[in-house]
Amino acid sequence: MTDFAATRALFQLPEGVIYLDGNSLGPLPRAVPERLRRTLQEEWGEMLVTAWNRAGWIDLPRRLGDRIARLIGAGPGTVVLGDTLSIKVYQALAAALELNPERRVILSDTGNFPSDLYMAQGLAAMRGDGCRLETVPPEAVAEALSDEVAVLLLTEVDYRTGRRHDMAALTSAAHRQGILTVWDLAHSAGALPVDLAGAGVDFAVGCTYKYLNAGPGAPAFIYVAPHLAERASPALCGWLGHDAPFAFEPGYRPAPGIERMRVGTPPILQLAALEAALDIWEEVDMAALRAQSISLSERFIAGIEASCPMLELASPREPESRGSQVSFRFEHGHAAMQACIAAGVIGDFRAPDIMRFGFTPLYIGEADVDRAVSLIAAIMADESWKEPRFQARGRVT
C-alpha cells in the first residue's frame, strides 16, 4: 500500500495551488534540482566529454527504459528513451507497416491526439504506395478491423475525454485479423496499471513529462515486443541506433533489439531529471494508485454534478472506462478555466468546449478535490468567468 501523504511531500507545489494538470505537465519532484546540479557540476563540469563513459550517460536511455518498463508491464531490454513522442509514433508506425507489407491501411480513431494522426498522414504520404490513414469513432474501432488494415494505432486514454480503450481486447481482436498494434500510452504511463506483455502489444510509445513528472521537453519512450525487436526497422536510422556507432561505418546496420530505436545524442539533462523523477515510482503500488485515482475522480464528479448543473460530464461515467482525468463540457470552457486558474485550481482547456482535470494521487488528496469543487462551484455560480481578463487566449491552452 502506498502512502500518498508521503509521496506528496516529494513534489514542489506552489502554496495555495491545486494542481489538476499533471496529465499535461507533471510538477517538479523535489529531488530533481539536486540531481541536475550534480549532472551539471560533477558530470558535465568536471568530467567533460569523458562523462559519456564515466557517468554512464551513453547507457541512460536503456537504463531508464528498463525502469519505465516495470511501470507498463514490459520486460527488461524492451524499452528505450529518446526524441519526442511524435517521433516515436512515427518510428513505431513505420516499423509496423514494414512488418505487414501486403496491407495499406493505418486504422485509428477520431479521438486520437492530432499529432499521432498527423504523423500517420505524413508517413503515408511519404511512402506513396497507396498507404493511407483511416479513422473511425472510438466505439467503432473493433468493427473496423479487417484484412486491409496493416496497423492499428490507438491512444489508450483519450486526451480530451479520458475515455479508455480495452487494450487487451482490441489487441487480440487485431491479431486475429493479422493486424499489428501501436499503442500510445501518453495518458496511461504513470496513470494506471498497464500490461503490455500480458496484452501482447506489438509496439507502444509514451511520454515522460506528463504523469511521470520528468519536466518540459523530457524525452519519449518506445517499446517493441521481444519477438519483433530483431526484425523491426527503426525508420530513422541514426548513428546511436547503429550496431557499432563508434566504428563509424558508412553503411547502416541496426543495433540488436530495442537499441536500434535510438536515433541521435540523448538529452542528458532531461534524462537526469527523469531518473530522479522515477525514484518516486519505486514506492508506488500501481493498483493502489489506480484505486485512489478512481476514488478522487468519483468524488470530483459527484461534487461538480451536485453544484454545477451547467457543466456536462464528457468523460465515461463508468470509472473502469476512464483514465485518470475527468472532463466536463461547458460552452465558455476556456474563460471558465482561466477563472479557475486565477482562483488556484489549475486544469486545462481542450477545444472546442472541454474543461479537463487530471487526478494524480501522488500529490492530490481528498481535501484538494473538495476545495477544487467549491472554488469551481463559486466561479460557475457567480459567473466571474465573464470578466474581460478571462477572455484572452494564450498560444497554449
Phi, psi of 151 (to 5 degrees): -135, 135
Residue 246 annotated in active site: no
Does position 159 interact with ligand PLP (CB under 6 A)? The reply is yes
At 237, list the grid cell: 536510422
DSSP string, 119-174: HHHHHHHHH-SS-EEEEE-GGGHHHH--TTEEEEEEESB-TTT-BB--HHHHHHHH
DSSP string, 299-332: HHHHHHHHH-TT-EE-S-SSGGGB-SEEEEE-TT
CA 197 from centre of chain: 18
Measured from the CB atom, the residue of 85 and 376 that comes closer to ligand PLP is: 85
Measured from the CB atom, the residue of 55 and 92 that comes closer to ligand PLP is: 92
Task: Label residues 89-124 b or e (16+ Cβ within 10 Å = b).
Answer: bbbbbbbbbebbeebbbbbbbebbbebbbebbeebb
**Distance (Å, whole) CA 28 – CA 22:** 10
Residue 19 annotated in active site: no
Measured from the CB atom, the residue of 116 and 348 that comes closer to ligand PLP is: 116
Measured from the CB atom, the residue of 270 and 292 that comes closer to ligand PLP is: 270
Residues 196-255 that bind ligand PLP (CB under 6 A): 207, 220
| Nearest C-alpha neighbor of 147 from the set 104, 187, 112 | 104
Does position 187 interact with ligand PLP (CB under 6 A)? The reply is yes
Figure out which of the listed residues 186, 204, 214, 278 binds ligand PLP, where binding follows CB under 6 A.
Answer: 186
Cα angle 329, 335, 338 (rounded to 5 degrees) comes to: 105
Q: 394 in helix, strand or coil? A: coil
Residue 356 annotated in active site: yes
Least gap, CB of 220 to ligand PLP (angstroms): 6
The interface mask with ligand PLP, positions 104-123, x = CB under 6 A, is ---------x-xx-------
Measured from the CB atom, the residue of 85 and 380 that comes closer to ligand PLP is: 85
Does position 270 interact with ligand PLP (CB under 6 A)? The reply is no
Least gap, CB of 184 to ligand PLP (angstroms): 5
**Distance (Å, whole) CA 187 – CA 282:** 20
Least gap, CB of 106 to ligand PLP (angstroms): 15
Sign, CA dihedral 146-148-150-151, equals negative
Catalytically annotated residue among 88, 163, 210, 262? 210
Residue 209 annotated in active site: yes
Least gap, CB of 219 to ligand PLP (angstroms): 9
**Distance (Å, whole) CA 278 – CA 155:** 23
Figure out which of the listed residues 91, 155, 315, 360 binds ligand PLP, where binding follows CB under 6 A.
Answer: 155
The interface mask with ligand PLP, positions 67-86, x = CB under 6 A, is -----------------xxx
Least gap, CB of 83 to ligand PLP (angstroms): 8
Which amino acid makes up residue 307?
S
- On whether the CB atoms of residues 300 and 359 are closer than 8 A, the answer is yes
Measured from the CB atom, the residue of 188 and 297 that comes closer to ligand PLP is: 188
Least gap, CB of 205 to ligand PLP (angstroms): 8
Binding site for ligand PLP (CB under 6 A): 84-86, 113, 115-116, 155, 159, 184, 186-187, 207, 220
Just list the catalytic residues.
Answer: 113, 184, 209-210, 356
